[in-house]
Structure 1
Amino acid sequence: MTQIRDVTTYLETIAPRSYQESYDNAGLLTGNPQAEVQGVLVSLDAIESVVDEAIEQNCNLIVAHHPIIFRGLKSLTGRNYIERTIIKAIKNDIAIYAIHTNLDNVSNGVNAKITEKLGLQQTRVLVPKPQILRKLTTFVPPENAEAVLNALSAAGAGNIGNYQNCSFQVSGIGTFQPNEQANPHIGEAGKLERVDEQRIEVILPNHLTNRVLQALRKVHPYEEVAYYLHNLENENQEVGSGMIGQLAEAMPSADFLKYLKTQMNLSVIRHTAVLDRPVQTVAVCGGAGSFLLPQAIRQGADVFVTADFKYHEFFDADGHLMIADIGHYESEVYTKELIQEFLCKKFVNFAVRLAKANTNPVFYT
């Protein structure tokens, strides 16, 4: 039996909730995490029409990109679409789970899907996040070093970009004196010991700290494991805002806009003046991305594909690049496919359906 918490736990191995922005509200918003999953409906937004569709399709879990509860609710009287949606979901035992900016911020998330649709190559995170990494240092008898490193790696430590099992080791002398209550792996109570030890250092994401320490304690031979943690300023190259990559071949700016319309199935694009140079380097950000414009310029993007630019913000392109505002919904709608792909790789005992409801509140005439 697959429970709702099995699904949400799995999704958080892909996009940990600790990666969401401080203003966000990703996670399980309604529902019993221990309920058995009957079916999953994936949508960009969880609104009333999507809950109706979940009822019709016998899906008791909605996985949405945008959280329906974004700010605190002080009442549930049905006076607006948010309250009506929550009431209907609760009445019909439908859980709602949101995977929002945490999915935006991982390198295989929302922005990776856009780069895939545009056929970009050599992609990387546009603005990597700092302060989400730690360094673990521990001390191990040389004969146990390999086993400890293997356990730390299996728990998620020692990954740097495209490299795994990364560590630093140096040999030294450790000293300790067990007291009468100790049960030492090496040495005798009351006697000062000097032993050869291997100092091991590995980097790990903050959210894996407990899992890595549990693995360390489980495999380490000492009764009392000596270790310490340092918070790092280093940027995590796999986590952050936006992405940037290269078209396989450069194309004129006007041709790129046509290509963008086709690839993203767009009816309209708001954009700055067409450039008099070819386009090859493309920066992207699903949803509202104007805050990334300086970085897109700094990193040499020819075009920045995103949404929700305000009138005066278009001037900030200042001829450095072309802004292509394709609309918030339009930039993120393929996130539904992304989430469905993740879930179908893991779970085969229930249906994972894409919501048919068009939840875009913006219309063009």
Structure 2
Amino acid sequence: MPAALADVLSSIERLWPAAGAEAWDSVGLVTGDPRATVQRVLLTVDAVGETVDEALEWGADLIIAHHPLLLRGVTTVAEDRYKGSILARLIRADCALVAAHTNADVVERGTSAVLAQRIGLVDARPIVPSAGPGAAEGHGLGRVGRLAQPTTLGSLARQLAEVLPPTATGVRVAGGFDDPVETVAVCGGAGDSLLGDPAVRAADAYITADLRHHPASESREQSRLGGGPALLDVSHWASEWLWLDAAAAQLADAHPDLELRVSELRTDPWDFQVVQ
């Protein structure tokens, strides 16, 4: 039996409260009528042409995307522009779009928590706990914990490559292949803003995405002076894609009659890499 979009939105708010989003973020309903009904829901990291094609060909009534389509200022929704084209197609097809971004990062089963669980971290806790009125215990950015069995940096990198979906850039590592690793910090998505956090500095290794040259270089140089983590840089898309299965399971519990599909289309922007 179809569910009211308004009811699904209520479940989304309960699972990933908008109040948990960063101030700069844009989450929630992007397009769609809350009075409409929903039967089929596609979950994806990015609302791009290919994933919208997949949703509409399947007959989806709702797309839940991790990344907001309208995060930055938009002055036109003309259909010769990427975002305008996406919105026009969704509106014509009566397919709603919801963004669950940093509000889905900080929860107990959020992007970083799922990544931490998949690599076997135990006693994981947020790197930066959520603060302020109404902040829930255990919520926050990133996760840091310890491996049940200590390993080496090379073995951790190989494990990570097996856990994540394949991408052109794979797993880049800064550190010695045989260096011992027990405490690991993770942050799904772009995480170089956390490189200076004490919990990250105290870890043996830090897994995140989109590490830029200067922050990564400065972190490694500081490590030579006073300790710090080895770095494992992965695809932004891949680091967050793992969360989609957990999100679908939570929605299925709330709405057993919904048909849910996790998109397996790779929306990582890179197609191939030439290694010198």
TM-score (normalizing by structure 1): 0.69
Q: What aligned pairs does 1:157-176 form with structure 2 within 5 A after superposition?
A: none
Distance 2:262 2:198 in 1: 32
Q: Do structure 1's residue 336 and structure 2's residue 244 form an aligned pair?
A: yes
Alpha-carbon shift at residue 61 of structure 1 (Å)? 0.4
Match of 1:49 in 2: 50
Match of 1:218 in 2: none
Alpha-carbon shift at residue 38 of structure 1 (Å)? 2.2
Of the candidates 142, 148, 162, which is equivalent to residue 242 of structure 1? Answer: 142
| Letter of the 1:115 counterpart | A
3-state DSSP of counterpart to 2:196: helix
Figure out how many residues of one structure are paired with residues of the other and give that number.
Answer: 264
Match of 2:196 in 1: 294
Distance 1:314 1:81 in 2: 32
Alpha-carbon shift at residue 297 of structure 1 (Å)? 5.2
| Letter of the 2:40 counterpart | G
Q: Do structure 1's residue 104 and structure 2's residue 105 form an aligned pair?
A: yes
Q: Do structure 1's residue 255 and structure 2's residue 155 form an aligned pair?
A: yes
- Deviation per CA, 1:275-328, whole angstroms, max 9, x where unpaired? 664101110000000011112555621110000111111121333110101110
| Letter of the 1:264 counterpart | L
Distance 1:29 1:298 in 2: 34
Distance 1:11 1:237 in 2: 19
Q: Which has the larger radius of gyration?
A: 1
Contact 2:189 2:236 in 1 (8 A): yes
3-state DSSP of counterpart to 1:337: helix
Contact 2:55 2:63 in 1 (8 A): yes
Match of 2:28 in 1: 27
Match of 2:215 in 1: 313
Q: Do structure 1's residue 273 and structure 2's residue 183 form an aligned pair?
A: no
Contact 1:43 1:65 in 2 (8 A): yes
3-state DSSP of counterpart to 1:11: helix
- Deviation per CA, 1:48-75, whole angstroms, max 9, x where unpaired? 2222211211111001111111123322
Alpha-carbon shift at residue 356 of structure 1 (Å)? 3.5
3-state DSSP of counterpart to 2:126: strand
3-state DSSP of counterpart to 2:127: strand
Q: What aligned pairs does 1:1-365 form with structure 2 within 5 A after superposition?
A: 1-131=2-132, 133=133, 205=134, 237-266=137-166, 268-274=170-176, 277-295=179-197, 300-315=202-217, 316-317=219-220, 318-319=222-223, 320-365=228-273
Distance 1:296 1:341 in 2: 34
| Letter of the 2:116 counterpart | T
Identical residues among aligned pairs (%): 31
Distance 2:130 2:254 in 1: 28
- Deviation per CA, 1:223-276, whole angstroms, max 9, x where unpaired? xxxxxxxxxxxxx54221100111111112222211221222445212212266
Contact 2:192 2:216 in 1 (8 A): no
| Letter of the 2:10 counterpart | T
Unmatched segments (≥5 aa) in structure 1? 134-204, 207-235
**More off after superposition, 115-124 vs 48-57:** 48-57
- Deviation per CA, 1:133-165, whole angstroms, max 9, x where unpaired? 2xxxxxxxxxxxxxxxxxxxxxxxxxxxxxxxx
Distance 1:309 1:115 in 2: 18
Distance 2:234 2:240 in 1: 10
| Letter of the 1:294 counterpart | G
- Deviation per CA, 1:140-198, whole angstroms, max 9, x where unpaired? xxxxxxxxxxxxxxxxxxxxxxxxxxxxxxxxxxxxxxxxxxxxxxxxxxxxxxxxxxx
Unmatched segments (≥5 aa) in structure 2? none
Contact 1:242 1:286 in 2 (8 A): yes
Distance 1:272 1:288 in 2: 17
Distance 1:341 1:265 in 2: 19
